[in-house]
Amino acid sequence: MHEALVPPDSIEGLSDEAIDQFKVEYDVCSALHNLGHEVIQVGVADELAPIRRALKEHRPHVAFNLLMHFHDAGIYDSAVVAWLELQKQHYTGCNPRGLLVANDKALCKKVLAYHRIRAPQFFVVPRGKDVSRVPKKIRWPLFVKSRSEHASTGISQASIVYDLDQLRTRVAYIHENVGTGALCEEYIEGRELTIGVLGNKRVEVSPVWEIFMDELPSGVANITTSRVKWDHAYQKKIGLRTGPAESLDPGVEERITRTARRIYRALGLSGYARIDMRMDKEGHVWILEANPNPDLCYGEDFAEGFEKLGYSYADLLEKIIRLGRGYDAPWKG
């Protein structure tokens, strides 16, 4: 885990906002302790030495990977997992090849296009470049986000742009404040859906989940901004809740489930992942992102989705460990 997110022994007396910073790490480590596992928490920032020491001193059965950034870059998490493979160390979550493809959102969309999986049309503006024109095939409005960062970083209501001036302003914001290239895709207005996938060669798929904002003011888009994701007061104000998708036609749900399996295999994912999508008013489902190693908090979408399939939180973590131990990594020959 990131060194700034190593959780304390107790969260008693801490505010929800303080706990949110390391809730994934705390929930996972606490549950593993309660299951009887010996857990060594390894904080990592910009060098591999802490991991190397932990492997040498403790010889763990498995490295439970909760690292989302290395050197403050989301795209580098695949390099850390690749290093674990070079050490012939079992680890949980997605393999480095799947991580690299899925976390580069532009590359991910190209792979989806090859497999004829519906995703919004897009283009990329690298750092140091400006937008001179928009490709003719692209339809306004556009949604502008980081090419490689996670957790709604850099996303706000201003991420939806309607003309070239707004586009240039938002691209510059991503370049300067997030520090990555900007991915500019057609904005799909509609319902925000997610679905979890769990497994290696054989996979299980959770029920389709939906994000609801029951008290969202008129004229405000129902997108998961950074504020929606992290601001508790704002979450209460807009009536944020998540749960099984409502009033989905059985045929549509079955199609979403099949598509999630196709995406998981097309991107070469393993361990577990969450697929994010939107459904437009015509009922078409558009794939936005594939998120390998998603939020494992107790009570969050991924864990709750698999609870509907009979997995308690403890069961889910044990399953993830078994998948990590059983993954057919290249070093196994």
The pTM (predicted TM-score) of the whole model is 0.94
**Residue 112 domain-assigned?**
no
Q: What residues contact 224, with CB distance under 8 A and at least 6 apart?
A: 152, 155, 192, 211
* Alpha carbon distance 207, 99 (integer Å): 23
Q: What is the pLDDT of residue 199?
A: 98
Instruction: Give me the torsion for CA of 6, 69, 37, 316, rounded to 10°.
Output: 120
Q: Which two tokens stand for residue 23?
A: 């809730």
Same domain, 316 and 235: yes
Residue count of the chain, please give it: 333
For residue 275, what are the β-bridge partners?
Answer: 195, 290
**Residue 41 domain-assigned?**
yes
Q: Identify the CATH number of the domain in which residue 144 sits.
A: 3.30.1490
Same domain, 153 and 26: no
**Residue 111 domain-assigned?**
no
Q: Which two tokens stand for residue 40?
A: 């060594």
Alpha-helix runs per DSSP H in the chain: 16-20, 23-34, 49-58, 77-86, 96-103, 105-114, 164-173, 226-230, 232-238, 250-266, 301-307, 313-326
Single residue among 137, 160, 186 that ends a domain in this structure: 186
Same domain, 313 and 260: yes
Q: What is the pLDDT of residue 252?
A: 92
Q: Which two tokens stand for residue 232?
A: 């508790």
Same domain, 202 and 170: no
**Residue 106 domain-assigned?**
no
Same domain, 156 and 278: no
Single residue among 92, 112, 136 that ends a domain in this structure: 92
Same domain, 151 and 211: no
Same domain, 42 and 171: no
Q: Which two tokens stand for residue 239?
A: 């009536």
Contact 232, 333 (CB under 8 A): no
Q: Are strands 191-199 and 271-279 parallel, antiparallel or unpaired?
A: antiparallel
Q: What is the pLDDT of residue 17?
A: 82
Q: Give Rg (Cα) of the chain.
A: 20
3-state secondary structure of 219: coil
φ, ψ for residue 102 (rounded to 5)? -70, -40
Q: Identify the CATH number of the domain in which residue 268 sits.
A: 3.30.470.20
What percent of the chain is predicted at pLDDT more than 90?
86
**Residue 98 domain-assigned?**
no
Looking at the structure of the chain, the number of domains it has is 3
Residues of the chain under the 50 pLDDT cut: none
Q: What is the DSSP letter of 69?
A: -
Domain around 69: 3-92
CA-angle at 68, arms to 194 and 299, nearest 5°? 45
H or E element that contains 143: strand 142-146
Q: What is the pLDDT of residue 333?
A: 65
**Residue 101 domain-assigned?**
no
**Residue 116 domain-assigned?**
no
**Residue 75 domain-assigned?**
yes
Same domain, 168 and 289: no
**Of the candidates 66, 38, 29, which has an alpha carbon nearest to the alpha carbon of residue 313?**
29
Q: What is the pLDDT of residue 330?
A: 87
